[in-house]
Amino acid sequence: MKQAVAPTSVEVFFDPDDIIVSKTDLKGRITYANKVFTDICGYSEAELIGQPHSIVRHPDMPRCVFKLLWDTLAEGREIFAYVKNMTRRGDYYWVFAHVTPSFDAAGKVIGYHSNRRVPDRRVIAALAPVYQQLADVEAGHRNGKDGLAASARHMTDFVKSKNVSYDQFIFSL
Ligand SMILES: Cc1cc2nc3c(=O)[nH]c(=O)nc-3n(C[C@H](O)[C@H](O)[C@H](O)COP(=O)(O)O)c2cc1C
């Protein structure tokens, strides 16, 4: 159902006291969206349910960040990440996301859950150029798989150069 929307240069914001919440099934299809989410993205809950979460993907986001997200979730672990998302109109909003697997009583992963807060502006100012570099690395490869591998390496090397883990890096920002 997603139309080809052109990204605008308009940034939109949500309240620092609010949390954008969504849940997905194991394939990343949305199973729940709270009002803060529907208000900011411009899609109704009915429009979101069943759609892939990439419905709010912004083209500026490097693919390697989502690879890390899915690789981490596949290991049953939580991940924190800064994400630039796109609304129905093409506007953008930054979030600081905490994404976790949801487990059933037997400990089996049955879906995923994401809570997002308003990010610190200084962090976004520092991180946006890094994301741009990663996206440029991806765009510099004709083959998407090679581009993703190269940007994932670039991201790992960047974090390593700080002598910390990814989690430590994110919380050092
Ligand atoms: C719980 C959960 C929440 C997600 N939230 C977002 C999100 O807010 N924005 C986004 O672009 N991708 C989000 N993703 C990742 C998407 O599933 C997808 O991997 C990403 O948008 C890249 O899509 P693409 O590979 O089709 O380009 C989320 C995934 C999960 C499991």
Give 7-20 pLDDT, tens digit per residue: 999 999 999 999 99
Q: For residue 116, tell me if it sits in a domain.
A: yes
Its pTM surpasses 0.85 = yes
pLDDT for 4: 80
- Decide: 86 and 58 in contact? Cβ < 8 Å: yes
Q: For residue 146, tell me if it sits in a domain.
A: yes
Q: For residue 14, tell me if it sits in a domain.
A: no
Q: For residue 7, tell me if it sits in a domain.
A: no
Please tell me the distance from the alpha carbon of residue 123 to that of residue 96, in angstroms, as a whole number.
10
Please tell me the distance from the alpha carbon of residue 39 to that of residue 60, in angstroms, as a whole number.
22
Number of domains in the chain: 1
Closest C-alpha residue for ligand 1 atom 10: 57
**Which atom from ligand 1 is nearest to the alpha carbon of 54?**
21
94 is in which domain, residue-wise?
Answer: 20-164
**Which atom from ligand 1 is nearest to the alpha carbon of 23?**
1
Q: Where are the alpha helices (DSSP H) in 42-112?
A: 45-48, 63-74
Please tell me the distance from the alpha carbon of residue 102 to that of residue 97, in angstroms, as a whole number.
15
Q: Which CATH number does the domain housing residue 110 bear?
A: 3.30.450.20
Q: For residue 173, tell me if it sits in a domain.
A: no
pLDDT for 2: 52
pLDDT for 71: 97
Q: Which residues line ligand 1 (CB under 6 A)?
A: 22, 24, 28, 53-54, 56-57, 61, 66, 69, 83, 85, 99, 112-114
* pLDDT by 10s per residue, the chain, length 173: 555 889 999 999 999 999 999 999 999 999 999 999 999 999 999 999 999 999 999 999 999 999 999 999 999 999 999 999 999 999 999 999 999 999 999 999 999 999 999 999 999 999 999 999 999 999 999 999 999 999 999 999 999 999 998 989 998 88
40-58 burial, b at 16+ Cβ within 10 Å, e below that, comes to bbbbeeebbeebebebbbb
Kind and range of the H or E run holding 173: none
Q: For residue 61, tell me if it sits in a domain.
A: yes
Q: For residue 33, tell me if it sits in a domain.
A: yes
Q: For residue 8, tell me if it sits in a domain.
A: no
- Decide: 113 and 100 in contact? Cβ < 8 Å: yes
pLDDT for 173: 87
- Decide: 157 and 134 in contact? Cβ < 8 Å: no
